[in-house]
Amino acid sequence: MNNLKKYNEKRNFNKTNEPTGIVSKKKNTKLKYIIQHHIARKDHYDLRLEYKGVFISFAVPKGPSFSPKDKRLAIKVEDHPLSYGNFEGTIPKGEYGAGTVMLFDKGFWEPTSKVDFEKGPIKFTINGKRLKGAWSLIKYKENNWLLIKEKDKYINSNNIKNYTTSIKTDRTMEEIAQNTQKINLTSPDKIIFEKEKITKKDIFNYYNLVKDKMMPYLENRLISTIRCPNKISESFFMKHLNTNSKNIGKKKIKNENYYYIKNENGILEEVQMNSYEFHIWGSSTNNIKKPNILVFDLDPDEKLPIKKVREGVKNLKKILDNLKLKSYLKTSGGKGYHIYIPLKTTSWKKLDKIAKNIANLLIETYPNKYTTNMRKDMRKNKIFIDYFRNREGATSCCPYSLRLKKNAPISCPIYWKELDTIKPNSITIKNIKERLKKRDPWKDFFNT
């Protein structure tokens, strides 16, 4: 039986940033493979192979060898959640596995023999960035197995120790360790939300908690943030940034420096610089002309009853369902909801057209309920369908971003079935913690 009971028992999730263990129910056609270099009490490499919703895991003290002559000890350890495949960072002192974890290799694996992780042996192929070809795992006693490279064109005399950087962030072990611990939060006690008594430290702690959930949406996407060095009423949008930080990337477009977050520390660094709201582009920096997210921001007349707002959201969902577009829902933190649709890449022009056509279809199908006019006085008893966020250079609120609004709400991913029970502004920095322990409603966003 694959389960994560042992994994969860060994860890205190209030202290470590490792993900909570939930068995994935998704049936992946390709099985994930990762290796993490882990400098803990002892230096070792963790080999993880996806099987039945978890990562079957082995600690390999010397790491894999590319030569069939070497038989490397691989100690079978507790199963890990698939979300562990994104984990890179430090595990605090005193916690299980305390030390530094680097994402060493990733890709897919495929069994070429019967899969039996109780008795073995298992033959398989790895298609990673650094490890490739045929391998086998042979059990010889209790939890002790041997990891052996099988003969094929991928054998070589290369030493695993020659790879010293992360496959994900290009950082060395030292850089990962320093980065995670170095962010020095200045004025932690400064009150940002006056009435709610929420400090800069509270906001920093919140982002530290959700940084791994936010990262897939921020990674390589140009951003704008809302900075608030003093009062919320004096906050402003930041679109351009000149920085030499390793955690933040720059991209020049028409002579202007746009920026993006490279890794989780980049989020925390932004918070240190008083950026508290994150807004993202619809495309990635490596494919800037090809957006892959469609966004609708449903912003109702302030006096429209919540029942009507929800009805309005459901109407849009119906249209999207009919178009076979899988949509994801989140709270806005204000009066409305946001609907996101992951797409195969398209052009900005086409995206704008799709968004406009859907908005118009909504207006035609349900007359008098919607408007695409931005003016607030044109919104009476109606919902403004903001589809204008699908244009090049426009941004939309990043999932899990805090909003600088009353009660410090979060723009939080929710399940469609929760639409009737969760108000657009009811998830806040003060009550979100319990929710974060549960499965992420948008977990499959980039796999749809």
Residues of the shown chain interacting with Mn ion in the complex, contacts defined by CB under 5 A: 38, 46
Q: Which is nearer to Mn ion, 46 or 79 (CB)?
A: 46
Q: Which is nearer to Mn ion, 61 or 393 (CB)?
A: 61
CA 230 to chain CA centroid, nearest Å: 29
CA distance 374 to 387: 10
CB-nearest residue to Mn ion: 38
Q: Which is nearer to Mn ion, 73 or 191 (CB)?
A: 73
Angle between helices 200-218 and 264-272 (to 10 degrees): 140
The CA-atom distances, in angstroms, between 59 and each of 9, 62, 65, 189, 216 are 19, 9, 14, 42, 27
Q: Which is nearer to Mn ion, 36 or 411 (CB)?
A: 36
* Shortest CB 15 distance to Mn ion, Å: 17
> Do 78 and 9 touch, CB atoms closer than 8 A?
no
Which residues neighbour 430 within 8 Å (Cβ) at sequence distance 6 or greater?
196, 198, 407, 408
Closest C-alpha among 349, 370, 346, 351 to residue 360: 370
Q: Which is nearer to Mn ion, 57 or 235 (CB)?
A: 57
CA distance 272 to 288: 28
> Do 259 and 269 touch, CB atoms closer than 8 A?
no
The tokens 């270099």 sit on which residue?
37
* Shortest CB 7 distance to Mn ion, Å: 12
Q: Which is nearer to Mn ion, 17 or 371 (CB)?
A: 17
* Shortest CB 158 distance to Mn ion, Å: 23
CA distance 397 to 409: 12
The CA-atom distances, in angstroms, between 57 and each of 79, 85, 117, 144, 206 are 6, 11, 10, 12, 30
DSSP letters of 317-362? HHHHHHTT---EEEE-SSSSEEEEEE-S---HHHHHHHHHHHHHHH
* Shortest CB 142 distance to Mn ion, Å: 18
* Shortest CB 10 distance to Mn ion, Å: 11
Please give the single-letter amino acid code of residue 85: G
Q: Give the distance between the most distant pair of CA atoms in the chain.
A: 77
How many other CB atoms sit within 10 Å of the CB of residue 154? Answer: 15
Q: Which is nearer to Mn ion, 93 or 437 (CB)?
A: 93
* Shortest CB 127 distance to Mn ion, Å: 23
Q: Which is nearer to Mn ion, 18 or 219 (CB)?
A: 18
Burial (CB count within 10 angstroms: exposed 0-12, middle 13-18, buried 19+), residue 55: buried
* Shortest CB 97 distance to Mn ion, Å: 5
Q: Which is nearer to Mn ion, 114 or 161 (CB)?
A: 161
Q: Which is nearer to Mn ion, 60 or 341 (CB)?
A: 60
Say if strands 370-371 and 383-386 run parallel, antiparallel, or are unpaired.
Answer: parallel
* Shortest CB 61 distance to Mn ion, Å: 10
H-helix segments, 32-190: 173-182
Closest C-alpha among 52, 39, 155, 65 to residue 111: 52
* Shortest CB 58 distance to Mn ion, Å: 10
* Shortest CB 30 distance to Mn ion, Å: 24
Q: Which is nearer to Mn ion, 145 or 445 (CB)?
A: 145
* Shortest CB 238 distance to Mn ion, Å: 38
